[in-house]
Chain A
Amino acid sequence: SQQGEEDPQALSIQEGENATMNCSYKTSINNLQWYRQNSGRGLVHLILIRSNEREKHSGRLRVTLDTSKKSSSLLITASRAADTASYFCATDAGAGTALIFGKGTTLSVSS
Chain B
Amino acid sequence: NAGVTQTPKFQVLKTGQSMTLQCAQDMNHEYMSWYRQDPGMGLRLIHYSVGAGITDQGEVPNGYNVSRSTTEDFPLRLLSAAPSQTSVYFCASSLRTYSQQYFGPGTRLTVT
Contacts and interface: CB of A to CB of B under 8 A. Distances in A.
Contacts of A30: 98
Contact of A45 (B43, B59, B97, B101): B101
B42 A92 contact: no
A43 B101 contact: yes
B100 A33 contact: yes
Interface stretch (A64-72, A74-82, A94-102): A94-102
Interface size class of B (residues with CB under 8 A): 20 to 34
B28 to A, nearest CB: 17
Interface string A24-61: 00000011010100001111110010000000000000
Interface of B: 4, 33, 35, 40-45, 48, 50, 56, 58-59, 90, 92, 94, 96-106
Interface of A: 1-2, 30-31, 33, 35, 40-45, 48, 88, 90, 92, 94-104
